[in-house]
Chains A and B, each alone.
Chain A
Amino acid sequence: MKIKQLSIFLENKKGRMRKALEVLAHAGINIRALSIADTSDFGILRLIVPQPEVAKELLQDNDFVVKMGHVIAVEMSDQPGGLSTVLGILDDASINLEYLYAFVDEKEENAIVLLHPEDIEAGVDALEKGGAKVIIPEDVYNW
């Protein structure tokens, strides 16, 4: 139930993100979801792609520092209160969230949130018990 996510170290310098994305573009790898955490000195680019292993190797060959981690993908209805319901489940189970990012799937009229709790396993467990719709990796990669 865990989705593979690539985290890439980016220096806070002109053109660095573009370079990373170009590496993927040349290999025909489409990005499913993306977020950036940034500080004044550096950024962390987080990506969900269909072939995370291939993408990781490609990026590393181009001298990027890449780590593979996991997030949980939850589908929810695209209407007010959708996300807060999901967060409520984690809150009630006393699970801290490190970060999240969300986007809308236009075809399905649904929204998808990618969650990174401190404890991934406990997060999956709590969300499933709480009735949230946790999506399996294949579905995420094939959006």
Chain B
Amino acid sequence: MIWNEKAECMSKDEREELQLKKLQNVVKWAYETIPHYQKRFDGLGIKPEDIKTLEDIQKLPFTSKDDLRDAYPFGMFAVPRREIVEVHTSSGTTGKPTVSGYTKKDIEIWSEVMARGLTMFGASEDDIIQNTHGYGLFTGGFGVHYGAQNIGATVIPISTGQTRRQIEIMKDFGTTILIVTPSYGLYLAEVAEEEGLDNNEMKLKAVGFGAEMWTEEMRQEIQRRFNAPAYNIYGLTEIIGPGVALECPVQDGLHVMEDHFYPEIINSETMEVLSEGEKGELVLTTLTRHGMPIIRFRTKDITTLRSGTCPCGRTMIKMDRITGRTDDMLKIRGVAVFPSQIEKALLKIDGLEPHYQIIVTRPQHLDELEVQVETSTELFSDEVKELVGIKKKIENYVNSEIGLRVNVTLVEPKTLPRSEGKAVRVIDKRKL
């Protein structure tokens, strides 16, 4: 099923024509209504009329998270506050949060793109969607909610937490689609197993994952545990929330809702725009958002773009699963390491629980990387030499993935913290 065939399966020429028209409009709108953009454009001597082709977007300045933070709270709104019907904020772990404002029409766009995505997962009026994303300032809960309502599915707005209750409801209500973060999904699966809930008792036909990075290996693990296909959801508060890109049943990348969000990939050091298939930082421009248009936002998420007609019939450009963030990249002894690489190595080992924590220290002017993994019955052996061998084996797997020596510590089961939202995978104890 395709929610909006006209928009999702449009030819390349037709779409580009549409994108150009929308880009010209949004640039003009941003320039005329938001002082920040006017100042920036004027500084570079750019006028909205200079946008004559889609490539001309490269003339425009980037917008960073700091720019949005400086505008706190309402400085980036393009309309009087009274036209804003809803606000959300990003988590704000580093300083002030950034505020995202939506007009009535913006909420409609949000619900449209999420309806498209949930339809990709197979959702229809007949489904019961258990939405474990938090409802609140975080965009996850509401984004999924609006999309599900648009489709006409039954939403269980349960939010995160109350894990045992989640499982009871999943069973009693007959949830068919579960929306979770990958780490919370694993925790839910673990508790479901403890409660003796059988895979077959669950009526799940799809699991949607968002708000956190995950590896293909993690997907396999989650699919095995829930006995249902798992699909990726991508989005960010600054742009709209979940719904920027979602995965179709082909499970080979996420379709970017190109008629609403224009994607580019840049080299985050040289700022140069990269061509299709090249890996770099994703930059997004909102093409239709009225209340808070965002021009060339640097997401810090690392991915690649690929165009072409997907076997699912959609023509919207695909982005790969996010493989890292420019800001969660760890520099260990000068080498770039992403937590996702370590996860990938760990999940290749049979019997290893997908709970881990990465600890970086600098005991004597040299970085040390410790990976803590939980022991399971399958991994455990009565022989010291075998256990040491298992530890070495895990160390070698990680080593060959990241090219650095690591120290693996086996810890007792269920001693690493479980997350009910975004997992804390890395603890950096270096004084940098």
Residues of A within 8 A of B (CB): 5, 7, 9-11, 16, 37, 39, 41-42, 44, 46, 63-67, 69, 98, 116
Contacts and interface: CB of A to CB of B under 8 A. Distances in A.
B111 interface: no
B387 A44 contact: yes
A9 B383 contact: no
A119 to B, nearest CB: 14
Contacts of A116: 382
28 contacts: A5-B382, A9-B380, A9-B387, A9-B410, A9-B412, A10-B412, A11-B410, A11-B411, A11-B415, A37-B384, A39-B387, A42-B410, A44-B382, A44-B384, A44-B387, A63-B415, A64-B412, A65-B375, A65-B379, A65-B380, A65-B412, A65-B413, A66-B377, A67-B377, A67-B381, A67-B382, A98-B383, A116-B382
A85 B414 CA distance: 45
Contacts of A98: 383
A116 B382 CA distance: 11
Given A39-B388, A41-B391, A65-B375, A16 B412 contact: yes
A17 B383 CA distance: 18
Given A11-B411, A11-B415, 18 more contacts: A5-B382, A7-B380, A9-B387, A9-B410, A10-B412, A11-B412, A16-B412, A37-B384, A42-B410, A44-B384, A44-B387, A65-B376, A65-B379, A65-B380, A67-B377, A67-B381, A67-B382, A69-B382
Contacts of B414: 63
Contacts of B380: 7, 9, 65, 67
* Most interface-central of B375, B380, B415 (chain A CB within 10 A): B380
A37 to B, nearest CB: 5
B409 A41 contact: yes
A63 B413 contact: yes
Chain B interface, DSSP helix/strand/loop, else mixed: loop
Interface residues of B, number: 19
B235 to A, nearest CB: 36
Contacts of B413: 63-65
Interface in B362-403: 375-377, 379-384, 387-388, 391
Contacts of B412: 9-11, 16, 63-65
Contacts of B388: 39
A42 B387 contact: yes
B382 A41 contact: no
